[in-house]
Structure 1
Amino acid sequence: MPIAADLRTFSDDSPPAGQSPYLRPPSRAPIAVVPYDDAWPDRFAQIAAGIRDVLGPRALRVEHIGSTSVPGLAAKPIIDIDLTVADPADEAGYVPALVSSGWVHTVREPWWHEHRMLKLTEPSVNLHVFGPDSPEPWRHTVLRDHLRADAADRERYAAVKVESALAANVAHETVDEYNARKQRVLREIIGRAMDAAGIPV
């Protein structure tokens, strides 16, 4: 498990010169931010059960994260899941099994916490793979739990998401560029989430 200081530190996920994280080109399709759907938790539960069936004990943690995990929060209609495995760099230990059950390997970022991402199209799911020492899954759950409890920050985040999606669509941007538009507000909210959780500076 990462130390508290790691949870407070945002590391740069930009690729080294000449490298790309994308195994498939990122989409520039319009970004939709829609009202919360009560079906999302059940959808996650079904997908998580499938992941555990495929990977067995290799799936150390399977967590519903992101905006679809926060009741009442507007979100892109894409279920985000954090999967923790012992060693994300050991792709042979989990990627083929997931691909054989319909997942598509789309991102490889060894320079950023050994992050990998796989996708499903129907239902639409992003599966983020990290190791047990990565701060990212822990930061995601702290943020999730804070947004579930704090209506004011939930409303702030919803507003910046809608605003960022509108601007990104006008500029025909990717999801990465959309994420960059809302990053400042999101990081302010994460700081308050860390405070609320008692995680020291």
Structure 2
Amino acid sequence: MDETVRLMHYDPRWRQEFEQTRSGVLQSCRGWVVDVRHIGSTAVGGMIARPILDVVAAVQDEGDVEQALAESADLIEGLNYLRGETPMWAAETIVLNKPRRGEPTHRVFLTYLDSPFWRSSLAVRDALQSDRSLSLRFEETKVARWRDAGGDPQQYADDKSVFFAHLIEHHL
């Protein structure tokens, strides 16, 4: 992911892309994955976003979670995903990317049901979906950080993570 960050206006097809991704992950994981949710800016109608469909997929938090995560990750790789680097803010996940000429088009954050990542990613999504003024502030911040970073992926991610930390601390 050394390419320049691209942002684009909301694409209503992202909802259908999510449904297809959700179906594929659930079917391929043969019961290991029990829930798949659309997260990130592509899940917020009308928001400018990176054209990367982010989903969080969860295995049951019972029994051998490590085995469930490993088995599920292997099965998701069979859907043309590659394991990616797990960012510090998603420590309890396995990240899988579906690449297309460099930048991924889809990203699955595989975790266990009700993990801290599961809860926070859904809470952020829900807050942005339900509070238009908050989503507009986030969008303005995101575009400003993108400009300031000159499209640099690492700088953009670092700057955006500050906003998420503030959002989680003060609004959720």
Global fold match (TM > 0.5): yes
User: 2:32 matched to 1:58?
Assistant: yes
Match for residue 135 of structure 2? 154
Match of 2:9 in 1: 35
C-alpha distance in 2, partners of 1:40/1:129?
Answer: 20
Q: Quick one: structure 1 residues 43 and 111, their matched pair in 2 at CA, closer, same or farther if it must change by over 3 Å?
A: closer
Between the aligned partners of 1:177 and 1:47, the Cα distance in structure 2 is: 28
- Provide TM-score, normalisation by structure 2: 0.84
Q: Deviations over 1:46-77 (max 9, x none)?
A: 11101111002111210100110011111101
Q: Report the alpha carbon displacement of residue 146 of structure 1 after superposing the two structures with TM.
A: 1.1
1:113 and 1:131 in contact (8 A); partners too: no
Q: 1:132 to 1:37 in 2, by over 3 A?
A: same
* Cα deviations by residue, 1:52-103 (Å, 9 ceiling, x for unpaired): 1100211121010011001111110100000112466335412222222211
Cα deviation, residue 112, structure 1: 5.8
Whether 1:96 aligns to 2:70 is: no
138, 159, 164: which one aligns with 2:145: 164
Deviations 1:21-45 (A, max 9, x none): xxxxxx2211012111111111100
Backbone CA RMSD of aligned residues: 2.4
Cα distance change of structure 1 residues 112 and 146 upon mapping to structure 2, 3 Å threshold: closer
Distance 1:80 1:62 in 2: 10
Query: CA 1:108–1:179 in structure 2 vs 1: closer, same or farther (change >3 Å)?
Result: closer
- Could you say which residue in structure 2 is the equivalent of 1:177? 155
Alignment check: 8 A CA contact 1:119 1:126 kept: yes
Which residue identity lines up with residue 80 of structure 1 in the other structure?
D
Q: Distance in 2 between matches of 1:59 and 1:109?
A: 21
Give, in whole Å, the separation in 2 of the partners of 1:62 and 1:187. 23
Alpha-carbon shift at residue 111 of structure 1 (Å): 10
- For structure 1, the 5+ residue unaligned runs are 1-26, 195-201
Residue from 54, 58, 64 that aligns with 1:84: 58
| Secondary structure of the corresponding residue to residue 141 of structure 1 | helix
Contact residue 26 and residue 34 of structure 2 kept, 8 A: no
Give structure 2 stretches of 5+ with no counterpart: none
Q: If each structure's helix is expressed as a fraction of its own residues, which one has the higher value?
A: 2
Structure of higher CA gyration radius:
1
* Closer, same or farther: CA 121–109 of 1 in aligned 2, 3 Å: closer
Aligned residues: 165
Name the SS of the counterpart of 1:124 in structure 2.
Answer: strand
